[in-house]
Every structure is written in C-alpha cells, then in structure tokens.
Structure 1
C-alpha cells in the first residue's frame, strides 16, 4: 500500500531536482527521503527520475505522476491547515522584513488597510533571512531564495531594473551593443554595493562579459542614488517601480530595451503559512500591482 508521505516526498524531490534539497525542505534525513522515493518507484513499477552527477531529472512517468499528484496534495495540505488555523493564535503584531526602498514604495501605502500593528526591519536578503530563521520576523520580502528547513517561499513578482541617467546627459543613439557597451563603460556609475550587484548582471546578460568599471559612488539606498543621478553624479540601475512616481525632468531612462529582471519572493516560516495576517499582507501587496 502506498504511504501518503511517499507522495509528498516525491513532489518535493520533483520541485527541487535534488533528494538532499528536498529532504531539507521537509526536515527529513536524506536516507529517509531516498527510501520514500525507492518505495514509490517499486510500487509504480518503473523509475520516476534519471540520476545524473548534479541533479535528478524526472522521467516521462515521473512528469505524468507529478501533474496528477501536485494539485491534489496542495489542496489536501491547504484543507488540513485550514482546520488547524482556527485554533492558531492571531498575531496582534506582524513583523515584516524588507529592503527599505520596497517598503517605502509598496508597503507603506497599504498600512491603513492592515488590521494589525506592524514592526518593520530593513536589511539585505541575507540579513533578513537570518532574522526569519531566528523567528525575529514573521514574513520577509526578498530577492534571494535559499533552501532552508522550515522556511517556505512564495513568488511575489518580477521587478525590472533599467539604466537611469541625468536628463541633460547626451546619449548616442545606436542599436549596436558594442557601441552601447563602450559608451556605458566610459560613464560615471553609482552602485548599490562594491560588488556591483545589478550592474554586473546587466553587463553579463546583455554584453556577455564582466563590467570593467569602478563606481564613483557606492550608496546602499536607491532613493539617495536617484537623487545623486538627478544632480548629474552618474548613471545607475533602478527598479521601474521606483521610477513610476519619482521620474521627473532631471532624469531619464536610456536604452530602455536593455533591462534586467529580478525575482521577488515572500518568505515565512511554514508553521505560520496559514495565519490570516500573513495571508492578508501577501494578498494586499500582490493586488496593489494589478
């Protein structure tokens, strides 16, 4: 007889393409996870994954089984948690972690709609994850997704970064990527960090190389970077959501067809997934961009 836990383990392995990562996500040992998979494959009568040196790839039978099981398991888990949520204590205060720029633009306007008090913390993705793991925040908005036992992620949306320059800067009109790269490399750049996080990705995605530039200013605050651009201190990469209300006659987007996508996620402790305050906050933020 098939054990329901075999199905849950199979779905986790399918999602992570790794037995070890799936085991971490379910807070199980790797041998136990492997045993679940072996038992299910024995019951099905054929292999569900092809093992490679780096990851495992689902077979056609594995793909078929996943498409059948995934919605059923998710529905059953949601129903089970709905029963439990009735007995869970309500949060009088929700502790939110985020980058301060996102919080100012996307969360502050929603505060009047929240039915609870808030305690907010700002920091980098790594700092916020540590706070979540230490149970010092209830939910964080982050651009990095780490496989961490007990932590679950839900996709928020994709944010897009574009090159923003002072409005009076003369920009050569050319479709040549080589000429664009040469001109951009010769400009003054303002970066969020010394490692050029978004700038480096922009260069690699569009010019297939590392940027050989040294920022004139390193400012870990997008709002302040935008002010520096306005007074002519250089170029930088900015998220479009920040420009919707902040663009003025002193700045402009250049080479708008070259952009960089950055995924944003909600992250929270699995035990808090169905708390109404967590669900309310996620729904409000998602709906604010519809």
Structure 2
C-alpha cells in the first residue's frame, strides 16, 4: 500500500463520497471506488458502509483513519517543507471570491502576481455563492464577513469599512441629507440580502448605535451593478470602501456621513482568507495571502 492509496482513503472520509474525492483528485469516481475496495481487502477491514444514497465511515474505519490520516498529513508536510526550500512557489492555485471582490481586489493584481510567481497558475472562480471548499477542491477562498465559521483555517487579510454615498447629480435635487436619519425620506438603493434590505446601522465615536429604516424602489443583487446605479443618480447606497473609495476620490460619488461608522450586519468586518484545515499551509497559498495583504494595505 502506497501513500497515494492512503491519501485517497482519507479524502473519501473527509469529503463523504467517492465522487467528491474523485473531483479533488481529478479522476473517475469508479477508480476511487476500486482503490478503496482493494485497500479494504488488503487490510481486512470494511472502512466504509455504502448504500445507494450515502457513504459513511464504519467504526473500524474510523479507528483506522484516526491513526492513518495524521501520518499522511505529516508525510505531505515533510515532503512539501523539504521541496519548498529549493523550489520557487508553483502549481495551480484554485481560488474563489465574490464577483465584486474578485473584480475590484483580485483581478487588478494578477498580472503583477504572475510576474513575481510565474510558476503558479491561477484558477479563479468569481461567484456570490459560498462554495464548499472541500467539496469543490478550493485551495483559497476570500470571504467577506465579521468572522468565518466551519472546518477551515482562516486569517483576516483586510478590514472593511462601509460608506453611504450618493452621486453629485442626485444630491443637487434631493432633500437634505445632514444626518443618517434623513435617509428615511429617500429612496435608497438596497442590496438584495435580507440584512441589507430593511435597515442600516450607524454609530459615532462612543455613542450607542442606532438603526435607520430603509425604503426604495430598487433592490439589486450585484454590488457592481449597485455601484453603477448610485453613479447614475438613482439614490443613496451603502457599499464597502474597496468598492467606492476610488469613485469618492474621483468625485463620481460623495460620502454622505464620513463622521459615522455604518454597516448592515456587524461594525467589525473584513476580508478573510480561508483554506482547507491542514497542519501546514502550502507555499502557493502562503505567497498569495501575503501578496494580497501587502497590496491591500
């Protein structure tokens, strides 16, 4: 039995199916099934209980994998740490981010990243769905949240601050907007998430936070489109700093309440790098995280 066979068994247990493990390994599910059956025959144990609808680890399989999985990870770690001493970062980095975040904060830096690390290939998946990292074979996910959860390793790589903005054209004819509570008299542009649609939260210095109820005729499910609607003068909008700061600097949008913090969820939020829970971080992931953190700072 070789290390690849043990790694395959560990992947099947981790992902819960032959098909999911096969996607990670980029092989046919039937080959994974045959390999697992041969390992079971070799060790004389039934590692997985199979039905037409599900697959689960047997009690014997759980005991076996409890001993084997750490050995597989330690062998991977020893190999990678040894080879990384003499190799430049390489391999395919499969990563995902929201559509807007990928467009604004990842794609603009890819050319420079490639010049620095030409042996790393990028497989970027922009999507507003939170893909399952393990099931989809994702090396690195960039998520916007107050704090991520789940069976993954995470590290914050930038802080996000939200800003309420409107275009100069809108403000020429709009009712006054001297205080956040004045938003209740305006048709606001709202993001199509439950917590963003009905109210925004504000606070100033050490004062208690307060809610401002919202209404408006336009709800949009994409942050880039929401920004364009604000540029076109359709109303006030609340968007992340990484999405509107350049527009504010260029005069396309005006920040309405710079003395206030605002949010729709938590005031302390940011961008997080998530990667599979392992005992070490592959070099291709490490250099991307370090690179993006330096760019965004």
TM-score by length of 2: 0.59
Structure 1 residues 188 and 82, CA, compared in 2 at 3 Å: closer, same or farther? farther
- The answer for unaligned runs of 5 or more in structure 1 is 1-79, 175-179
Match for residue 25 of structure 1? none
1:1-290 equivalences under 5 Å are 84-86=80-82, 92-112=91-111, 113-114=113-114, 115=117, 116-124=120-128, 127-128=129-130, 130-144=131-145, 145-149=147-151, 151-168=152-169, 169=171, 170=174, 172=176, 174=178, 180-197=179-196, 200-203=199-202, 208-247=209-248, 248-260=250-262, 261=267, 262-271=269-278, 273-290=280-297
Q: Conserved in 2, the CA contact under 8 Å of 1:188 and 1:234?
A: yes
Could you report, residue by residue, the CA deviation over 1:123-168 in whole angstroms, capped at 9, with x for unpaired residues? Answer: 33xx33x42131431111112334323x101111211111011213
CA distance in 2, matches of 1:281, 1:198: 34
> Equivalents in 1 of 2:247, 2:287: separation in Å?
28
Structure 1 residue matching 2:274: 3-state secondary structure:
strand
Tell me the CA shift for residue 95 of structure 1: 0.9
Give secondary structure in 2 for the equivalent of 1:131. coil
Shift of the 192–86 alpha-carbon distance from structure 1 to 2, 3 Å rule, reads farther
Q: Structure 1 207/213 Cα, relative in aligned 2: closer, same or farther at 3 Å? A: farther
User: 8 Å contact 1:181–1:207 — kept in the other structure?
Assistant: no
- Displacement of 1:243 after TM fit? 2.3
1:57 match: none
Paired with 2:280 and 2:104, the residues of 1 have a C-alpha distance of 25
Count the aligned residue pairs: 202
Distance of 1:173 and 1:233 partners within structure 2? 15
Which whole-Å CA distance do the structure 2 matches of 1:154 and 1:272 have between them? 15
Taking a change above 3 Å as real, the CA distance of residues 196 and 167 of structure 1, as seen in their structure-2 partners, is: farther
- What is the CA–CA distance in structure 2 between the aligned matches of 1:148 and 1:87, rounded to whole Å? 30
Deviation at 1:244, TM superposition (A): 3.2
SS in 1 for 2:142: strand
Q: Structure 1: how far apart are the matches of 2:203 and 2:217?
A: 20
The TM-score normalised by the length of structure 1 is 0.60
Cα distance in 2 between the residues matched to 1:143 and 1:82: 33
Larger Rg: 2
Quote the offset at 1:185 in angstroms: 1.0
Whether the 8 Å contact between 2:80 and 2:282 is mirrored in structure 1 is no
Query: SS of the counterpart of 2:296?
Result: coil
Question: SS where residue 86 of structure 1 aligns?
Answer: helix
- Counterpart Cα distance in 2 of 1:91 and 1:202: 44
